Structure 1
Amino acid sequence: MSEALHRNYQVSEEIGRGRFGVVFRCLLPVNGVYYAVKSIEKSLVSADSLDAQCLLTEPKILHLLSPHPNIINLHDFYEDETHLHMVIDLCSSSDLHHRVVTRRVIPEPESASIMCQLVQALAHCHSLGVAHRDIKPDNILFDDRNRLKLADFGSAEFFKEGQLMSGVVGTPYYVAPEVLAGRDYCEKVDVWSAGVVLYIMLAGFPPFYGDSAVEIFDAVLRANLRFPARVFGSVSSAAKDLLRRMLCKDVSRRFSTEQVLRHPWITSGGGARTVADLT
């Protein structure tokens, strides 16, 4: 591991492991604060592959986006002959995926708080010309103050205003239909994915599903949004109104991040119950 990293940080136990590297807990003695260090082994990545491009792009994106209260912040970056090391925020609480699996359904006020923080993070990304492109519960972390931290910018892409992106990236349940259709797309793909996350928090299952990746993709492409009464009977019409606007197949009518943040269900902290409350 990098000598420069060890000069500045006390690296301790492993706390996570991914396809290309390992995440360790580390301490910065000068301020007594614990961080995480993501160490990526270069030999596991082909030099000319898309993965290599992502590994090089992620630190640049995190540097651009930091600091933000709802995004994993990059504090230090080291590179040696064998590894890349990113010192980032330590998120010791469970991620959103774990919370949904263990609790099944998350009440509207808590879901509104989580969604507000997530979309604030996305609004910051989009204002700086960054699309995340892989929004899902696994990438939504929480620190020891229960503050949301958006993580994993390995699929993120830079864009300029009015410029469209291409390439099929993302995770089956959460990817926007225009991505699957092979069309060029804009940053609103993140709003679609956030809408899927909101639906899952309120219902306990995704809005578009199937028994295989192909069936899931077909369901996403149809984008037939339903609210089964057995589950959504107790969910406010205001929440369902926001879901319709986020999970809108027509990109021109789909909400932007700023429109989501202005929606009364969000501004009321999940307290707006009916369509009448929206006016």
Structure 2
Amino acid sequence: MEGGNLFKYICKRNKEPYTERDAARYIWMIVQAVNHLHTMNIAHRDLKEDNLLLTNDRNDAILKLCDFGFAKKDFLFRFPACHVAPEILAREKYDKACDIWSMGVIMYILLCGYPPFYPESEQQLSPHIKTKTRAGRYEFPDAEWRNISNEAKSIIRRMLTVDPTSRITIGEILTSPWLTELTSERPIDMTVLQDAETRQQLQAAVASATDTQRLTDDDLGIKISAPGKSRIDKRAAKKKEQMPPTGDTSFT
């Protein structure tokens, strides 16, 4: 499509600031598309950045959800690496709730520039991602999240609920005040996403979507190298060092 990938478009926005209200508009369109699928009892199962395309490169562009290759009425194990729901990692039968989790990951990225679950080292198939995802363990670091509304954080927490039966439903998201009422127009710092190396690392993690990941690392014969800080970790640490002392970091 003319507008191309949503995240690439955000990175190229130089004339106008990117705000929480912009993020809410994009999330609204994603939720509407997913809701259409769910009303037909279909799970997309491959929600990720590459599948979010804009009809043009203007601010009034419509967001389209594409790539329905995995959207079948069955329960085959296929998923993008850093967006996978914990019930899938647990090798349990899953349903449409897995899309809610993936939307939570996308919303998190739209508001800070990096995913809640990302490799601890430069390797793509990181057990660190799996451990954090299974536990639902992530943070809202103050450096990026201090100016983001509590309403936005609350929706993310409910989307990224480990128990799928307790996860927020698509209907509840559609009626949430964060989407139905005016949200903040305060600019969001997306320098992390705009960093070329960080973006490449994120794209590599997303690109590792494959049904073979349902196997363990030992099953696949993958050798895990000694952990080293990822690009995202390094940038976050540097940004934290540059910040003046503030209140406690928000945890889930």
TM-score, with length taken from structure 2 = 0.65
Deviation at 1:99, TM superposition (A): 2.9
* 2:85/2:98 contact within 8 Å kept: yes
Separation of aligned partners in 1, 2:41 and 2:96: 9
The aligned amino acid for 1:256 is T
Q: Please, what is the CA RMSD of the aligned residues?
A: 2.2
Alignment partner, residue 140 of structure 2: 227
> Is the contact between residue 106 and residue 201 of structure 1 (CA under 8 Å) also seen in structure 2?
no
1:129-278 correspondence runs (5 A): 129-144=41-56, 146-158=61-73, 166-210=75-119, 211=121, 212=123, 213-214=125-126, 215-271=128-184
What amino acid sits opposite 2:5 in the alignment?
D
CA shift in 2, pair 1:103/1:232, >3 Å? farther
Cα deviation, 1:193-230, whole Å, max 9, x if unaligned, reads 01100000101110011133232222212211311011
1:131–1:156 contact (8 Å) kept in structure 2: yes
| Structure 1 unaligned residues grouped into runs of 5+ | 1-90, 159-164, 274-279
Query: What CA distance in whole angstroms lies between the structure 1 residues aligned with 2:6 and 2:129?
Result: 21
Contact 1:140 1:151 in 2 (8 A): yes
Q: Which has the higher strand share?
A: 1
Structure 2 letter corresponding to 1:246: M
The alpha-carbon deviation at position 259 of structure 1 amounts to 0.7
Give 1:92's aligned residue: 2
Which of the pair has more CA radius of gyration?
1
* Structure 2: gaps of 5 or more residues: 187-252
Higher relative contact order (CA 8 A, sep 6+): 2
Q: Tell me how far apart the structure 2 counterparts of residues 216 and 96 of structure 1 sit (CA, whole Å).
A: 24
Whole-angstrom CA distance in 1 between matches of 2:174 and 2:166: 16
Q: Over residues 38-83 of structure 1, what are the superposed CA-to-partner deviations in whole Å (9 max), with x where a residue is unaligned?
A: xxxxxxxxxxxxxxxxxxxxxxxxxxxxxxxxxxxxxxxxxxxxxx
Identity %: 34
**Take 1:272 and 1:250, find their aligned partners in 2: how far apart are those partners?**
33
Partner SS, residue 3 of structure 2: coil
Deviation at 1:180, TM superposition (A): 1.3
Question: Do the aligned residues in 2 keep the contact of 1:133 with 1:169 (CA within 8 Å)?
Answer: yes
Q: Relative to total residues, which structure has the larger helix share, 1 or 2?
A: 2
Alignment of 1:5-16 (within 5 A): none
Quote how far apart the aligned CAs of 1:166 are: 3.0
Contact 1:208 1:219 in 2 (8 A): yes
Give SS of 1:183's match: coil
Structure 1 range deviating more: 137-146 or 95-104: 95-104
1:159-212 per-position Cα deviation (integer Å, ceiling 9, x unaligned): xxxxxx533211111111111110011101001101100000101110011133
Return the alpha-carbon distance in structure 1 between the equivalents of residues 13 and 81 of structure 2: 22
Closer, same or farther in 2 for the Cα pair 1:272/1:244, shift >3 Å? farther
Matched positions, count: 177
Q: Matches of 1:106 and 1:181 in 2, distance apart?
A: 37
Q: Please tell me whether the aligned partners of residues 111 and 270 of structure 1 are also in contact (alpha carbons under 8 angstroms).
A: no
Task: Give the conservation status (yes or no) of the 8 Å contact 1:208–1:220.
Answer: yes
Indicate the SS of the match to 1:126. helix
